Amino acid sequence: MEAAEAMEKVVNWLRAVHGPQIAGPGGLRVDHDRVLRIPEGWSIPYNTTAYLDDGRPDKELFPPPSVVVREPDGELRQAPPNPGGLSIPVAFPGQESWREVVDPEYVKAGFGELGVPLQAVAGWVKVDNEGRQTGDERENPEYKAGPIRRGYPKPENTLETLLAFASVGWLTREQLLIGLLRCDVFVPLDPETGATDRFYFSEERNELRVFSATRHFPPREHSWWRVDLATLAEFEHPPNLVINGGPATFEDVSGEDLTATAKRFPRHEPRIDRHGRGPEAEEDLERLTRDTATRMGLPEPVAVPLAAAENARRHGFELTAEECQRTVLGQSWLNRLAMAEPPRSKPNDWRTNGLVPGWDNLGRVIPRLDTFGKYPDRDLENFRYGWQRVAGAYVGFALGEALGMAVDRMRLDEIVTQFGSEGVADLPIAFDQAGRIGSLTQRLLFYTEAVIRSPHREQPESRDVEQQFPSVVRGALMRWLHTQGAPYDDADGWLVKVPDLHVRRTADDAELNAYHALVSGSPQAVPLTGPASLIAALPATLIAAGPGTGFSGGVRQAVRDLVGVTHPHEDDLSVATYLAWLFEPVLTKDAFSYPVWNLSREILTEHNTTFVSGPEWAPVKAMVAESVPFFGEHGLPDLRMPELIGDGQGTLSVLGRAFAALSGFENYPEQALLRAVNHSGRSALTGAITGALLGARVGVPGLPQKWIEQLELRHLIEQVVTDALWHFDRRSALSFLGEEWVQRYPRH
């Protein structure tokens, strides 16, 4: 379409709206001098004839209105008054008006210049001449759910947002190229020479590897070149780009295509072309190490935290400048405390000085370096699972329980009466203050201790040794019961010695008595049933964390041994096994972990030929279909409400409600957790399972930090996770520490 044809369309619309006299002295006219080709089509501005022809500023329409004529369909749309806003269809007199309902993800992105893709329009609502909705609605069959709702990794900048939108079909190739010209990228470089390594630039292919953020750099890179893509497009030989936009997001862009697009749609934003260093390599940090050493009387300064920054990046995170400073302070304090001569006093404020509590083999608190939930304080290989995911799952479990404990087993109407129309909206007080862990998390920790103390780790080929595991589980549960007041003479290991765990965190005496009868072998013991069987799924998964460390029957056997001690009913065993199978891919060490709406169905298919083909699996499949929306199709997804999934009491219902709370909300952690506890039934356990699945995806730093800061024993939970993964690592803790490890986790 030529400009003249586009202008004629606008003139005809002006006549239809304002009558045939628009060309008169008091009428309107297209501003021919400011007609502009834009990505969406043609921008046709108009104003009063008195202003355009006679120069009368008092007659100017301000802000100057403009109509967009779309290509190729010629649709007329009113341009937004503000940059980045979205155009909307114009109204014609006497014709029905339908307002677009655009996906909020696209609205918030500020990509108005690129237009409104049909695939991002959820539907339309009919409006009258006054712009009021009439109640008539139409869904768009071409709509596709956006990447954030689908559970893609949450974009952190404009470039990552563009790539994510393109990956779900919201943007055409041309729209992506136009958007890329407004973005900048990072390239690793040598801080001494300022050169780009051959690993990132291939002269033979004229190919440059670039990154959307320094967080996605290979761990050992600490210096960068930041440059906008329009500048690269102007090089004499524009490089072909391989763009790393984060986990599972890569894009190849030829220099030729980028240059051609830049000529048609040049960048108007300020150019970016500069070098810099990561916060871990800044000169100010070097001075801090020296000043701190002098102040503390250290013989030499600690090293700048390059290793810590590399470890964090290996686990998908990046240290902030403040965290780098606290790492220097924390390591300096640890070096000072290790010196033989006095004084050896500790700082009053551990957190500000880069320290957090750790626990020794006698359950005593000792200082250790704060890793901010971003990397383990041990050098782990992450053979199968990522430490950040396992730590996130455990901390998320505890947070979900703490969030739901105050309303556990209450009806939804009772929750609303007590907390208001939105229900629980913040971390509530349970027991005596907000953030207390409950008996679910206590059991999780002792189940994990049982996994570590299983003798099969030393003799992985012996099935006879595997058969000892149920007795190990009984011992772990007896130690938990001991912390709740039950007598037990053989309470060994470090965990049972932690005073903070010797706090009664359940008011259900009947449940405690039932557990005690079962694990002590009482002839009057009655097997338990119900959703508490789900607690063991996460620690059972850890059995397979290392090379050759699993049971001969796999994770399924570990679940049955852990759960079967107290909950031997086949329905409970099957659902707990299914959850453990789900945790296996969720806890992957890979940079990308698929969301629950995708994995929950794949798990059933993957195991179909082995364990899930019998009729007993029909209820699990029905639960997944009921509680998990499917985002892989066109049209509006049906987000599920936890309150409507079962009765909230049974094992299947609790897991289904956790799925419903999380699916579609993986990138909205606070909302997901609140959805998981604001319903009738087992809010604490539903919140815990939701928190575990959520934490595995986003890690501890991705969970709501205002709640994490209040969570009791968060660092103890992380220490148990680190111990477990170290135990099953290729270089196991047992082989490294020997009897010291056996004292910590006795082998019986």
Tell me the chain's radius of gyration from C-alpha atoms.
30
Which of these, 563, 376, 544, lies nearest to 469 by C-alpha position? Answer: 563
Domains of the chain, residue spans: 3-139, 149-277, 283-369, 387-744
Q: What is the rounded CA–CA span in Å between residue 27 and residue 59?
A: 11
Residues 6+ apart with CB under 8 A from 245: 159, 160, 163, 164, 212, 216, 251
Q: Which residue has the tokens 């006095």?
A: 342
Per-residue pLDDT band for 271 (boundaries 50, 70, 90) equals very high
- What average pLDDT does range 126-151 have in this prediction? 91
Q: pLDDT > 70: what percent of the chain?
A: 98
Per DSSP, the three-state class of 41 is: strand
Q: What is the rounded CA–CA span in Å between residue 402 and residue 196?
A: 49
Per-residue pLDDT band for 23 (boundaries 50, 70, 90) equals low
pLDDT attached to residue 465: 85
> If you average pLDDT over every residue of the chain, what do you get?
93
pLDDT attached to residue 460: 60
pLDDT at 462 over 70: no
What pLDDT digit, counting tens, does each position of 625-679 carry? 999 999 988 898 889 999 999 999 999 999 999 999 999 999 999 999 999 999 9
Per-residue pLDDT band for 55 (boundaries 50, 70, 90) equals confident
What pLDDT digit, counting tens, does each position of 111-132 carry? 999 999 999 999 999 998 777 8
Q: What is the rounded CA–CA span in Å between residue 183 and residue 628?
A: 36
Total-model pTM = 0.94
Tokens of 462: 């012996």
pLDDT at 609 over 70: no
pLDDT attached to residue 343: 59
Q: How many residues does the chain have?
A: 748
What pLDDT digit, counting tens, does each position of 402-444 carry? 999 999 999 999 999 999 999 999 999 999 899 999 999 999 9
pLDDT attached to residue 748: 67
Tokens of 188: 């690793």
What pLDDT digit, counting tens, does each position of 206-245 carry? 999 999 999 999 999 999 999 999 999 999 999 999 999 9
Q: What is the rounded CA–CA span in Å between residue 480 and residue 173?
A: 58
pLDDT at 372 over 90: yes
pLDDT attached to residue 610: 66
pLDDT attached to residue 130: 76
Lowest-pLDDT choice from 439-453, 571-585, 600-614, 621-635: 600-614
What pLDDT digit, counting tens, does each position of 505-540 carry? 876 788 899 999 999 999 999 999 999 999 999 999
Per-residue pLDDT band for 81 (boundaries 50, 70, 90) equals confident
Please, how many CA atoms are within 13 Å of residue 164, restricted to the half-sphere of its CB? 24
Q: What is the rounded CA–CA span in Å between residue 66 and residue 78?
A: 6
Q: What is the rounded CA–CA span in Å between residue 93 and residue 96?
A: 8
More confident residue, 196 or 160: 160
Q: What long-range pairs does 419-425 form, CB within 8 A, spacing at least 24?
A: 422/678, 423/674, 423/677, 423/678, 424/674, 424/677, 424/678, 425/674
Question: Would strands 365-369 and 184-188 be described as parallel, antiparallel, or unpaired?
Answer: unpaired
pLDDT at 1 over 80: yes
Helix or strand holding residue 51 (H, E): helix 49-54
Which 8-state DSSP code applies to residue 456?
G
Q: Which residue has the tokens 């206590």?
A: 442
**CA 198, chain centre distance (Å):** 33
What pLDDT digit, counting tens, does each position of 243-267 carry? 999 987 899 999 999 999 999 999 9
pLDDT attached to residue 743: 95
Peptide bond connecting 72 to the previous residue in cis, omega within 30 degrees of 0: yes
* DSSP letters spanning 481-510: HHHTT---TT--SSGGG-GGG-S-----HH
pLDDT attached to residue 248: 77
Q: What is the rounded CA–CA span in Å between residue 242 and residue 239?
A: 9
Inter-residue contact 372 to 709 (CB < 8 Å): no
Find out if CATH 3.40.50.2300 is the number for domain 387-744: no
* DSSP letters spanning 86-138: PPEEPP-TTS-EEEEEE-HHHHHHT-GGG---GGGEEEEEEE-TTS-EEEEEE
